[in-house]
Amino acid sequence: MDVDAQPLYSVALPGARELVCGLPFERRGAEQHWGRWDGRELTVHDELNDGLDRILSDAHPAHAGFLTLEHYGNDLQLHALDGTVLAENDELRWDHYCGFLDGDTVLATSDVGYAADPEDHTTWLLAARTLEIRGRVRYPGGADDGPVRPLGDGTWLTYDATTDAVHRWTV
């Protein structure tokens, strides 16, 4: 792979010998590249892109694959290691803040930065294998309009700009 770019985002896949890396390209958006280290040689594949403009979101040890988001938030997809789409959710306009809450659940936000009504800035719980919506997160004190960062251990972080505080949450 002959690329002069800094990784936008990278995630190590189960087994720690595999890595998916999102690379930004000025005119083409972000492309996904999959690499595998066999102990002697690094093999890199770029056929995960298939002409799509997707953003790498996350991976979790409980899944032999990774989560991506369409560049403009039109859908969220779960992929196998070879790039095959295993599940997709295009019910809402998803924001770039999403990932595995744990092995069974994906945490994703919708309409952050797009909706005028703060109530539309919503955090959702999705089934990790099907990406079907399980429910909506309700924060004490009302809507939370900031980004979320799932940590993979059943917790996630939010940032409150009005109090300049980071909060850690669990279901």
Q: What is the pLDDT of residue 5?
A: 40
Q: Are 169 and 156 in contact (CB under 8 A)?
A: yes
Q: How confident is the model at residue 95 (pLDDT cuts 50, 70, 90)?
A: confident
DSSP per-residue letters across 4-15: ----SEEEEETT
Q: What is the pLDDT of residue 4?
A: 40
pLDDT band with cut points at 50, 70 and 90 for residue 124: very high
Task: Give the pLDDT confidence score for residue 110 in this predicted structure.
Answer: 86
pLDDT score at 145: 57
Signed CA dihedral, 28, 31, 37, 38: sign only: negative
pLDDT at 14 over 70: no
Please list, residue by residue across 96-110, b when 16 or more beta carbons sit within 10 angstroms of its beta carbon and e when fewer do. Answer: ebbbbbbeebbbbbb
pLDDT tens per residue across span 135-147: 999 888 665 656 7
Amino acid (1-letter code) at residue 148: V
| 3-state percent breakdown (helix, strand, coil) of the chain, nearest 5 | 0, 50, 50
Q: Which of 66-75, 94-103, 122-131 has the highest mean pLDDT?
A: 122-131
C-alpha to C-alpha distance for 148 and 37, rounded to whole angstroms: 31
Question: Which overall architecture, per CATH, does domain 9-170 show?
Answer: 7 Propeller (2.130)
Output the pTM of the full model.
0.76
Look at residue 82 in the predicted model and tell me its pLDDT: 72
- Report pLDDT digits (tens) over 17-52: 555 565 555 444 555 566 666 677 777 766 555 555
